[in-house]
Amino acid sequence: ASSEEPRIGPMLSLGIRLSVEHPAPKVEPVRIPRVVRFGLPLLLASVAALVPSRAQEPSPADQRPTFKSGVDSVTVDVTVTDKQGRPVTDLKADDFEIRESGKVQTVQTFKLITTDDGLDDPSAAREILSTSDQEREVARDENRLFVVFLDDYHVRRGNGMVVKEQVAKFLRGLSRHDLVAIATPLSTIAGLTFSRNPDVTSANVMGFVGRKYEYTPMNALEQRYQDLPPEQIEQMRNNIVISALSNVCQFLGSMRDGRKSILYVSEGMSGSMPVGVRTTGSVTPNIGSARSDSQTFFDNTSQLLDIQSKVFREATRNNVAIYTLDPRGLTNFEFDVGENVTPQDDRRIVQESTDLLRVVAEQTDGRAIVNRNDPLPALQQMVRDSSAYYLMSYTSTLAPRDGRFHEIQVRLKRPGLEVRARKGYWAYSAEELAAATATPKAGPSEEVSGALDDLATVTG
């Protein structure tokens, strides 16, 4: 294992690319952890904020990267293919036109990034065995980066048994230039380590166990909310997954400017739990209420989308594409005959969760792999999307400070070709910039100090 300290100050590609001094996560000598790895070592400050008894929004001042310049620099990756779907790799910067709010922007940096199977690359034959190995390999443009996010909170046990075989088969077919990390909702960022060994990553995926509607606690955090009603547990799980996806996007953004991909394996979230759903492991059984409709913990689907917009922001700012994989395959129902759920509620939950998976992919420049019993062709397309693309940037002449999404249009002057690019970026608000450039306080925040005090009392 290397004794080098992680380098400080990697460039964060944040959609609006921010030249940021930000400490890289300290990664132990790389040994890929077991997939289903739960327990106290997680992002305690983030998760504690989700528990009802400690509901707090983290202060912007608690996360203070130092902005140097380039706040208004927008990074865009563009894929160009011909009519047969083959990548076009002979274009120049002058062949593209980028508009923001109808105004033409000047392309300032331009680079073609291509990736092959790595058979002629001697460095691609080496295993990643240390922190310095990982830092070097993830920074190389010729290496594709994938995180397989196994959302056990939103995958039924039976569906998980099928999808893990499919994902493991896909991973075994990857090349030496494909670096893969495995994550779950309660994984630690420090444990998010990359491997180019397909046997290791596929073996880790085979340990995946879906736990949808199963509430038997697997760690101290889950014990804290075990006595909540099932609909509140589902709300907690939604929040944890959204926070975890956002953190993974931020972590990937600290590595390099180029395209990164998350394979989000999930049956999707829902804003309600129908009466009659069979649950296990919770102190409070799901016996329903006097109402005949669902137990709603979000007012409507749009409210759940508003909460998920945190993921959209971080994915766009960090140049991460999320590909959603629905383990249910081609299905018209969610619940089996042993559950007392009305057909109307069943159809609504299937439609709502599937639509949300599509939105996540669309908003992050990924693809939704839904209603497919064989996802392998779509997974191979995910690899092709990262195999040949143009990475370019421009400095926005509008310089927005409103914290909102701003559309951009990428056009190609050469006819007969298909262009695929992000639809826009999320601007930073004046408050975010002020908080990021403020002088940091000495010492950890109260949330971090409290979390460390809790850990000090744990034995075993």
**Three-class DSSP labels, 435-449:** HHHCCCCCCCCHHHH
Token pair of 310 as six digits: 């945190």
Token pair of 246 as six digits: 């956002």
pLDDT of residue 291: 37
pLDDT of residue 298: 56
Supply φ then ψ for residue 95, to 5 degrees: -80, -10
Question: Buried (b) or exposed (e) across 240-253, using 16+ Cβ within 10 A?
Answer: bbbbbbbbbbbbbb
Strands 103-105, 107-114: pairing kind: unpaired
Nearest-angstrom CA–CA distance, 186 and 222: 10
pLDDT of residue 135: 94
Token pair of 223 as six digits: 């014990």
| Alpha-carbon torsion (335, 341, 343, 347), positive or negative | negative
**DSSP code of 359?**
H
Decide: residue 5, CB within 10 A, 0-12 exposed, 13-18 middle, 19+ buried: exposed
Token pair of 293 as six digits: 């409709």
Contacts of 287 (CB under 8 A, 6+ apart): none
pLDDT of residue 1: 41
pLDDT of residue 17: 36
Considering only CA atoms, which of 293, 350, 361 is closest in space to residue 322?
361
- Tell me the pTM: 0.79
CB 257 within 8 A of CB 342: no
Token pair of 138 as six digits: 């993830």
Angle at 293 between CA 287 and CA 295, to 5 degrees: 55
Which segments in the chain show pLDDT lower than 70?
1-70, 285-301, 456-460
Token pair of 313 as six digits: 């922001």
Supply φ then ψ for residue 312, to 5 degrees: -60, -45
Considering only CA atoms, which of 426, 438, 200 is closest in space to residue 320?
426
